[in-house]
Amino acid sequence: MKTLRTKVWPVLAVLVVIIAAWYAAALLMNRTIAVEEAARKGEVLTTQEMWLKSYRLDKPLLPAPHQIVTEIWNSTATMSITSKRSLVYHAWITLSATLLGFALGTVLGIALAVGIVHNRAMDKSMMPWVIASQTIPIMAIAPMLIVVLNAIGISGLLPKALISTYLSFFPVVVGMVKGLRSPEILQLDLMHTYNASRTDVFWKLRFPAAIPFLFASLKVGIAISLIGAIVGELPTGAVAGLGARLLSGSYYGQTIQIWAALFVSSIVAGLLVFIVGGVERLVYRMMGARPEATA
Amino acid sequence: MAENQSSVVSAKNLGLTFQTNDGPVNALTGVNLDVRKGDFVSFIGPSGCGKTTFLRVIADLERATEGQILVNGTTPEDARKNRSYGYVFQAAALYPWRTIEKNIALPLEIMGYSKDEQKKRIEHTLSLVNLSGFGKKYPWQLSGGMQQRASIARALAFDADLLLMDEPFGALDEIVRDHLNQQLLELWARTNKTICFVTHSIPEAVYLSTKIVVMSPRPGRVTDVIESTLPKERPLDIRETPEFLAIAHRVREGLKAGHSYDD
Ligand SMILES: Nc1ncnc2c1ncn2[C@@H]1O[C@H](COP(=O)(O)OP(=O)(O)OP(=O)(O)O)[C@@H](O)[C@H]1O
Ligand SMILES: [Mg+2]
């Protein structure tokens, strides 16, 4: 009951405000299109007709929320998921690239962090490159990467996944370097008194100490992995995936389709972050964390 | 070297200067000390006089910059590599993601004890520090005193003849402290370990020790070494005997002398 009051209500209240503002904005932005469309047919609209029409346009400037929800419903629930028009199908295409890229990025990020923490040369040389990699706009990298990979015969899932990897390894490196260095001097001294090997210090101290940092990074990493996969679908003019839906929507001015794809991608992102959070809580419980510390 | 045969710690003219950003800090200077096998040595002195630093030098956690020190007749580094001491830090330093028994198992895992042996030793040391039944708890579920006892159990779990303890009971109340002091004495008598013990409490030092090292700060040095004349068997009320009070008096005088250096 307490979570209902403290967590659900505030969110719902904000949601209501957003929806109200949305309808108001949709009316303002679509009004002229509605009026012009009517004028072309020689009609003059009453205020009430203008309202209704603004919320029912085929290609509105800003679709009303119910139009987007209807479009999502029509392209998910009422359609076979193998259909090329199903958003579930497109979401799955993007999701698979996201997950593969995220997995690769996580492994790469952890590996780099382990190297940086354990090797002086890597510590001195790697970090600037890691940071520099993220200063290059992904929109510039993505087309090059995809074209180059296509030229050597790699296409489909992997190039998109690599863009996700490119984005998601970064928070993992940064978080894990910090996490692996987080043990207190005293905890390290203790290991020293046991004459523990580096491997022991890593598995019994550094890695467990880094877990909270890892999950913080993974939550950021999974969300930007999805962005990476979508961006990866844009430059090739891909025919499948949420990015492809965004692209074709903008070619044909199908604003409702664009917004539906946007909504689905944010729902997928939300679900992914939620799942990572769930795994995090599970791992914390297994590691004996205080109950309130897992919140 | 014959005299070092039974000498567990032997420091000759030992000095340590930390190089800090604000210039050198002379933490220890001219320390001469001989700790023999089976000794219970207490280090007492005002804050900053180098007690922790000296223990850390023995443990090879710091390197002396002057003089020489032998631990078990070898360098501190070799002694550490031979796993010849257990260290109890000022704070419990338990790993929060391990249960109490897993914390005690930590050195045993690293030193390659078998699972059966680990189990036996965990049970044994838990009962030594009166924590039987708490093995499955996590550190945050225990009081500070219990955590400190768990950290002592962890240092006792493997076969080190030398126990280095840095104010292990500093944060505990008087009653728990008395109890742990008694237990520690029993343990020491039973196991014949050599113990180096840092404390701020005069009664604690006199009650526990066969040898009391009085230190003074700036620069950290040994001002007096008192051999206790108390018998090995020590009930708590020995603390009211004239003999006990005489030793306590001498320690207090030694501390005062160290302090007047400051003025
Ligand atoms: N890592 C270090 N770097 C620089 N100076 C240090 C370091 N460790 C200790 N010192 C200095 O050395 C001196 C002795 O410190 P030490 O911790 O040994 O004192 P202590 O006798 O254990 O004090 P306390 O009773 O407060 O624990 C102090 O002046 C301290 O500031
Ligand atoms: Mg100290």
Q: What is the pLDDT of residue B196?
A: 95
* Residues B108 and B197 occupy one common structural domain: no
- Mean pLDDT per 10-residue segment, chain B (263 residues): 67 90 89 91 92 94 92 92 92 93 96 95 90 93 90 91 91 82 87 91 92 90 88 85 90 79 47
* Residues B165 and B60 occupy one common structural domain: yes
Three-state DSSP at A252 gives coil
CATH of residue B178's domain is 3.40.50.300
* Residues B107 and B3 occupy one common structural domain: no
* Residues B167 and B197 occupy one common structural domain: yes
* Residues B75 and B20 occupy one common structural domain: yes
* C-alpha–C-alpha distance, residues A225 and A166, integer Å: 9
* C-alpha–C-alpha distance, residues A98 and A160, integer Å: 8
Which chain B residue lies closest to A192 (C-alpha atoms)? B61
Closest partner CB to B110 (pick from A186, A196, A289) = A196
* Residues B41 and B103 occupy one common structural domain: no
Domain extent, residue B107, equals: 93-159
Q: How far is the CA of A180 from the centre of ligand 1 (A)?
A: 27
B248-252: Cβ within 8 A, 24+ apart = B248/B202, B248/B203, B248/B206, B250/B224, B250/B226, B251/B44, B251/B202, B251/B205, B251/B206, B251/B212, B251/B214, B251/B224, B251/B226, B252/B202
Q: Within a 10 A sphere around the Cβ of A100, how many other Cβ atoms?
A: 19
Determine, yes or no, domain membership for B243: no
Counting from 1 in the atom list of ligand 1, the atom nearest the Cα of B51 is 21
Mutate to test the interface with A, among B75, B89, B110, B137 (most CBs of A within 10 A): B110
Which chain A residue lies closest to B164 (C-alpha atoms)? A193
* Residues B64 and B103 occupy one common structural domain: no
Q: What is the pLDDT of residue A293?
A: 52
Determine, yes or no, domain membership for B247: no
Pick out chain A residues at pLDDT < 50.
294-295
* Residues B72 and B103 occupy one common structural domain: no
Q: Would the CB atoms of A288 and B99 count as touching at under 8 Å?
A: yes
Q: How far is the CA of A70 from the centre of ligand 1 (A)?
A: 70
Q: Is the pTM of this model over 0.80?
A: yes
Q: Is B24 in the pocket of ligand 1 (CB under 6 A)?
A: no
Determine, yes or no, domain membership for B15: yes
Q: How many structural domains compose chain B?
A: 2
Contacts of B142 in chain A (CB under 8 A): none
What ipTM describes this predicted complex?
0.89
Determine, yes or no, domain membership for B258: no
* Residues B7 and B115 occupy one common structural domain: no
Determine, yes or no, domain membership for B261: no
Q: Would the CB atoms of B89 and A186 count as touching at under 8 Å?
A: yes
* Residues B66 and B99 occupy one common structural domain: no
Q: How far is the CA of B217 from the centre of ligand 1 (A)?
A: 10
* Residues B39 and B153 occupy one common structural domain: no
Q: Any idea which fold A87-294 has? A: MetI-like fold (1.10.3720)
Q: What is the pLDDT of residue A78?
A: 82
* C-alpha–C-alpha distance, residues A225 and A220, integer Å: 9
Contact (Cβ atoms closer than 8 angstroms) between residue B17 and residue B83: no
Q: What is the pLDDT of residue A123?
A: 87
Q: Give tens-digit pLDDT for B102-155.
A: 999 999 999 999 999 999 999 999 988 889 999 999 999 998 889 999 999 999
Q: Is B20 in the pocket of ligand 1 (CB under 6 A)?
A: yes
Determine, yes or no, domain membership for B165: yes
* C-alpha–C-alpha distance, residues B94 and A144, integer Å: 51
* Residues B6 and B75 occupy one common structural domain: yes
